[in-house]
């Protein structure tokens, strides 16, 4: 096999390696949690905090109302015990009972409001949890597909790498060094295809005799403009 042909085949493998490595980097960048999942989880945590706060509030009002009921019961027991006859004391017990009932009514209004709010926030929480489950399910599927793609690319890269090493070994040290040097100078494209006398990289028409020699595979010829080795295919 001519050097130009070997170089051209190595160049194809190098180009595919670069492309597959870029694809693998993209896949790896997409692995892990997405913004969507993080945001949906955060939304659930925030709502859980609101619900917990409201539950605490409802519970505290319940306790306070319970305390007032106890006080009111003691007040009523005393009032109707028949033991209190002093009008001043009776009147003060009545006043106390009224004050306790007013306070209780106030707290009951607040309790009702808190319970309605709690119900709304619990519904919101259930909605956010369902949304999170849905997003996570989609995310898991995507991650599985990405993992599969990652493995596929990794084994492809291993194969290409092996091919590349074989080709480079066959080239021998001198040609390997030449290839690498040209590759560095020519941005990775060492060989240009020549079709109908035209360099397929820079578009220049090469001299007729050179084109003929390239087509026949005689000797090594470089494009006069982009300086790449010409290959007739």
Which residues in this chain contact Zn ion in the complex, by CB under 5 A? Answer: 192, 199, 201-202, 223, 225-226
Closest CA to 211 of 202, 201, 224: 224
- In the bound state with Zn ion, the residue whose beta carbon lies nearer, of 153 and 192, is 192
User: Residues for the chain: how many in total?
Assistant: 233
DSSP string for residues in 139-204: HHHHHHHHHHHHHHHHHHHHHHHHHHHHHHHHH-HHHHHHHHHHHHHTTT--EEEEETTEETTT-P
Q: Least Å distance between CB 192 and Zn ion?
A: 5
Q: Are 198 and 223 in contact (CB under 8 A)?
A: no
- Give the Å distances, CA to CA, from 208 to 2, 24, 213: 21, 44, 9
Q: Least Å distance between CB 165 and Zn ion?
A: 29
- In the bound state with Zn ion, the residue whose beta carbon lies nearer, of 29 and 187, is 187
Q: Least Å distance between CB 202 and Zn ion?
A: 3
Q: Are 156 and 194 in contact (CB under 8 A)?
A: no
Q: Least Å distance between CB 204 and Zn ion?
A: 5
> How many CB atoms lie under 10 A from the CB of residue 177?
11
- In the bound state with Zn ion, the residue whose beta carbon lies nearer, of 171 and 201, is 201
Q: What residue ranges in the chain does DSSP mark as E strands?
A: 191-195, 198-199, 229-231
Q: Least Å distance between CB 218 and Zn ion?
A: 19
- Partnered with residue 229 across adjacent β-strands are 191, 222
- In the bound state with Zn ion, the residue whose beta carbon lies nearer, of 58 and 201, is 201
Q: Least Å distance between CB 134 and Zn ion?
A: 55
SS3 assignment, position 229: strand
């Amino acid at each position: 096999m001519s050097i130009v042909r070997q170089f051209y085949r190595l160049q194809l493998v190098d180009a595919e390696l670069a492309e597959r490595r870029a694809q693998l980097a993209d896949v790896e960048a997409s692995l892990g949690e997405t913004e969507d999942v993080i945001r949906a989880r955060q939304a659930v945590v925030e709502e859980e905090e609101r619900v917990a706060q409201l539950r605490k509030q409802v519970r505290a009002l319940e306790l306070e109302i319970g305390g007032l009921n106890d006080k009111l019961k003691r007040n009523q027991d005393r009032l109707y015990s028949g033991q209190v006859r002093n009008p001043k004391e009776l009147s003060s017990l009545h006043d106390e009972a009224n004050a306790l009932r007013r306070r209780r009514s106030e707290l009951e209004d607040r309790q009702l409001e808190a319970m309605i709010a709690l119900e709304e926030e619990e519904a919101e929480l259930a909605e956010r949890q369902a949304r999170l489950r849905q997003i996570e399910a989609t995310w898991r599927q995507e991650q599985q597909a990405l993992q599969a793609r990652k493995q596929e690319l990794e084994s492809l890269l291993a194969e290409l790498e092996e091919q590349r090493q074989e080709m480079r070994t066959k080239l021998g040290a001198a040609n390997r060094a030449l290839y690498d040097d040209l590759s560095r100078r020519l941005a990775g494209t060492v060989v240009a295809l020549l079709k109908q006398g035209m360099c397929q990289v820079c578009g220049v028409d090469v001299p007729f005799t050179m084109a003929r020699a390239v087509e026949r595979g005689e000797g090594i010829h470089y494009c006069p403009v982009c300086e790449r080795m010409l290959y007739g295919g």
